[in-house]
Amino acid sequence: MSHILSCTDGSLYAPSVYQHSAWAAARMGAGVKVLHVLDPHRELAHGGDLTGAIGFDASAELTQELVKLEENQARVARLKGKAILEDAAKQLTAAGVTNVETLQRHGTLVDTLEELEPAAELVVIGKRGEHCDFAKGHLGGELQRVIRTSVRPVLVASRAFKPVERFLIAYDGGPSVLKAVDFVLNNPLLKGLHCHILRAGRVDDNARYYLEETAQKLRAAGFTVISAAEPGPPEELIANVVKSSGIDLLVMGAYGHSPIRNLILGSTTTTMVRTCQIPVLMFR
């Protein structure tokens, strides 16, 4: 059975990650593997490297006690991760997922995903993680690294889950968004949902031609499609369509040189996240 890789750190976004994973699993007929990664460097960064701060003159007894303390911190982190995974399995099962597997790994999330994601159909992760500054609206650093390196579609869960009825493709004609369109056409995840496709930014006759060509492919596949080409700042136009059309999911290319892709990973990241406040399905 195919599976979805659901990444969790037990943060405030975790329940939404599980709900988005369950929704995707039901539509794709897939199981869910829940991944929790213990990153020793991250744990030390937030808990403090105690032995490294005492200097060469510290007594052997003090050094031993600090080593024990760090070992206890590592044990607590493992137990916390186990509890997070048990809770994830419970929530996913309650949401109707019949095939749930939990994985706890040591290392970095990016390195772990590099190993595991080729066998998955989809990666699901929260917009912000445990150590992100919610007050400032920062996007999680781990998320940005995942998007830059992922070989699979990445579904970025919003703060709260809402059933998806309408999705918007932010179309720029680039390789990443063409990959997204191919996924929409051939994967059951979005079948039967209302599709909007928007070309924002620089618009000419050539852009309109390829936009309409893509819209026709989607219509031929059974989608009800509303297409539009609008000149102007992509972030403003996308946000306006999301709000005015009741869009539940944004589909877009995740990394590249075009203005639209740079919205997610560039300087306007925070603005885009705050404005849309919906899940984003991204393709690199």
- Please check whether residues 125 and 209 belong to one and the same domain: no
d(CA 14, CA 159): 9
Residue 50 located in a structural domain? no
- Find the length of the chain: 284
Alpha-carbon gap, residue 217 to 178, rounded angstroms: 12
In a domain, 56, yes or no: no
Mean predicted lDDT score pLDDT of the chain? 84
Domain assignment of residue 215, yes or no: yes
Q: Return the pLDDT at 223.
A: 97
Angle CA 251–37–132, to nearest 5: 60
Give the per-residue pLDDT at 284: 81
Distance, in Å, from the CA atom of 34 to the CA atom of 52, rounded to the nearest integer, reads 34
Do residue 152 and residue 11 come from a single domain? yes
Q: Do residue 94 and residue 152 come from a single domain?
A: yes
Structural domain count, the chain: 2
Structure confidence at residue 39 (pLDDT): 81
Per-residue pLDDT of 3-15, as tens digits, reads: 999 999 998 999 9
pLDDT tens sequence across 166-211: 999 999 888 889 999 999 999 999 999 999 999 988 889 999 999 9
Q: Please check whether residues 277 and 233 belong to one and the same domain.
A: yes
Q: Is residue 65 part of a domain?
A: no
Structural domain boundaries enclosing 93: 3-42+78-156
Residue 137 in domain: yes
Is residue 121 within a helix (H) or strand (E), and if so which, with residue range?
A: none
Could you tell me the pTM of the whole model?
0.84
Q: Please indicate, yes or no, whether residues 169 and 194 belong to a single structural domain of this protein.
A: yes
E strands, 144-204, in order: 154-157, 166-171, 194-201
Q: Is residue 219 part of a domain?
A: yes
68-80 burial, b if ≥16 CB within 10 A, otherwise e? Answer: eebeebbeebeee
Indicate the DSSP class of residue 216. H
Same domain, 167 and 140: no
In a shared domain, residues 178 and 195: yes
CB-based contacts of 267, cutoff 8 Å, min separation 6:
none
- The residues of the chain scoring below 50 in pLDDT are 45, 51, 132-138, 257, 265, 267-270
Of the residues 123, 156, 189, the one at which a domain ends: 156
Boundary of a domain, candidates 119, 138, 156: 156
- E-assigned strands of 134-278? 154-157, 166-171, 194-201, 225-231, 249-253
